[in-house]
Structure 1
């Protein structure tokens, strides 16, 4: 980096004097890397230094923060055959009106590249947009840190920074080369360290869901059931949901009694209970209160609003009277969410829904566009939406909970298309919050003991995920 720093100074990319910043402060130093595009050899050297940092990050795409980092990202993409995404500074008022151009799949990882970081707000704007589109953004490579608070800002929002050089190093290199005096070094460092850039409060820049403890995410919940669930998870130290795929009331209640102490949610399919009655639901609610877990009826509502409202509030199962949460497909549009929300409001009970964003079965027809559209609908109904059923992370919002089915400690799949993953992979790599386990527990000779093993594995994976957010300093 020493030769690059000296070359940047010689082409005027590093300037000394008096420069008015966006904040209104007058800075004795100014970094302007935009001119590097006119020096191909230097650009290539800089790109290779950025690429060396990629060993510390995992990613499927590269995205440069507009505008100065766009050339860096473009050269990286072409030279190293990594797909690039282009983030616009502002959306056009015609055409597709997209803010991000490129082909991508929600759940994949994107590496962000930036030239100079001051407060970090520009980086976080790009990170937030990419996360809102369903991409995982965990790492950003920065050419230069002005040392005015930006790095801490990124860390506070669940982003790991990888820095090529800093203002201090630049000053030392140029001083060593005889290009600036000791007095310039002293005055510049004094200005940088005494004038940190203002950082917006957490409400302005969203925290990363994946790297925030459940205990802190509680305050970000809009839906009261989501809040209650996170409180249960933290209190019981369990992010396990058992899928009670049994066919009689006796089996259902016995299973709930055995696994109740180990779970945060019991997922039911009441329409397969042969002898279901109001007493079945009443006794199950009693066990949920006894062992402190929530009830999720996996009804997968998908009809028009009026029909869904009747399915939810009446009929044999009278779901709204006992289920804390229900699953819903958004295929029929926003009416299904509005209908369920109105019915829950009429019942005057804390209720929520979980949107089916992705499925674990092979060959399912849910596309990336469908998942993205479901996220948009969720944003319009945060007061009722508690989270998603998904295979990957669909949102960075801390108040939304991700449930992932198809989890097993020792099975890869079945002959009907179900695909399984282990708890560690699902929680640490895919970003799930709550694992959903069915046959791995209910078919075990000792369901309570099996539930305990899954609970411990899932919680260990969650703690591992939190530790991964702490960079090596």
Structure 2
């Protein structure tokens, strides 16, 4: 039976409903928690294979993902392509390569992410790779929720495109209703609380 990303997302409960503060600073009533998909090695492997299939023509030599969401999908995509897997992590407010990772001058690098919304973290990783002399040949994600206009100057491909509404905090209808917002993955990340009164 062929693997299908939409079925896998449904099967693993990736789509969450509530009031969420996204890493971009925007708010949304829905959140894609791809860690729920990637926690299953077979699902992660299949997602990596599918993403690798979108970039076979680019002669990728390494795959890099931003920590934390891009680590597993970058690894599985690299495995499917038979190349190295790296990740960038934030230190002192900026994405950096650590742990002995390096980019070779001219190396053809694919950036992989679990979900792209505004693309901010991915743009930082692209800048990092380019500053080290690497050549970014594309960006791949499991889910594209950027709204259709590619936020990158390189080819951007995803396994699934979803239009999920998000709001600037001052325009958020969920805030106006007093529904607490939380940072996904953490119950302690409550941003606002309804009036108690």
In the alignment, structure 1 segments of 5+ residues that lack a partner are: 92-97, 169-187, 198-473
Q: CA deviation at 1:109?
A: 1.3
Contact kept in structure 1, 2:112 and 2:141, CA below 8 Å = yes
Q: CA deviation at 1:18?
A: 2.8
Q: CA deviation at 1:22?
A: 4.1
Contact kept in structure 1, 2:56 and 2:81, CA below 8 Å = no
Q: Which residue of 1 aligns with 2:9?
A: 8
Q: CA deviation at 1:130?
A: 0.8
Q: Deviations over 1:229-280 (max 9, x none)?
A: xxxxxxxxxxxxxxxxxxxxxxxxxxxxxxxxxxxxxxxxxxxxxxxxxxxx
The alignment's TM-score, normalised by the length of structure 2, stands at: 0.71
Question: How far apart in 2 are the matches of 1:82 and 1:69?
Answer: 16
Question: How far apart in 1 are the matches of 2:91 and 2:84?
Answer: 22
Pair 1:68-2:69 in alignment: yes
Q: CA deviation at 1:59?
A: 2.1
Q: CA deviation at 1:54?
A: 1.3
Structure 1 residues 165 and 132, CA gap change in structure 2 (3 angstroms): same
Pair 1:102-2:101 in alignment: yes
Q: Which residue of 2 aligns with 1:162?
A: 157
Contact kept in structure 2, 1:90 and 1:99, CA below 8 Å = no
Q: Deviations over 1:284-324 (max 9, x none)?
A: xxxxxxxxxxxxxxxxxxxxxxxxxxxxxxxxxxxxxxxxx
The structure whose residues are more often helix, as a share, is: 1
Contact kept in structure 2, 1:34 and 1:68, CA below 8 Å = yes
Q: Which residue of 2 aligns with 1:112?
A: 111
Mapping for residues 191-270 of structure 1, pairs under 5 Å:
191-192=165-166, 195=167
Mapping for residues 14-163 of structure 1, pairs under 5 Å:
14-22=15-23, 25-90=26-91, 99-100=97-98, 101-148=100-147, 151-154=149-152, 158-163=153-158
Q: Which residue of 1 aligns with 2:183?
A: none
Contact kept in structure 2, 1:19 and 1:26, CA below 8 Å = yes
Q: CA deviation at 1:24?
A: 5.3
Contact kept in structure 2, 1:107 and 1:135, CA below 8 Å = yes
Q: CA deviation at 1:196?
A: 8.2
Larger Rg: 1
Q: CA deviation at 1:105?
A: 2.0
Between the two proteins, the alignment pairs up a number of residues equal to: 164
Contact kept in structure 2, 1:63 and 1:110, CA below 8 Å = yes
Question: How far apart in 2 are the matches of 1:142 and 1:55?
Answer: 15
Q: CA deviation at 1:78?
A: 3.4
Q: CA deviation at 1:153?
A: 2.4
Q: CA deviation at 1:99?
A: 2.4
Structure 1 residues 41 and 135, CA gap change in structure 2 (3 angstroms): same
The structure whose residues are more often strand, as a share, is: 2
Structure ranking higher on relative contact order (CA contacts 8 Å, 6+ apart): 2
Question: How far apart in 1 are the matches of 2:160 and 2:128?
Answer: 26
Mapping for residues 429-468 of structure 1, pairs under 5 Å:
none
The alignment's TM-score, normalised by the length of structure 1, stands at: 0.32
Q: CA deviation at 1:117?
A: 0.7
Contact kept in structure 2, 1:65 and 1:114, CA below 8 Å = yes
In the alignment, structure 2 segments of 5+ residues that lack a partner are: 170-197
Aligned partner of residue 90 in structure 2, secondary structure? coil
Structure 1 residues 24 and 57, CA gap change in structure 2 (3 angstroms): same
Structure 1 residues 75 and 142, CA gap change in structure 2 (3 angstroms): closer
Contact kept in structure 2, 1:148 and 1:196, CA below 8 Å = no
Contact kept in structure 2, 1:112 and 1:139, CA below 8 Å = yes
Q: Which residue of 1 aligns with 2:192?
A: none
Contact kept in structure 2, 1:9 and 1:15, CA below 8 Å = no
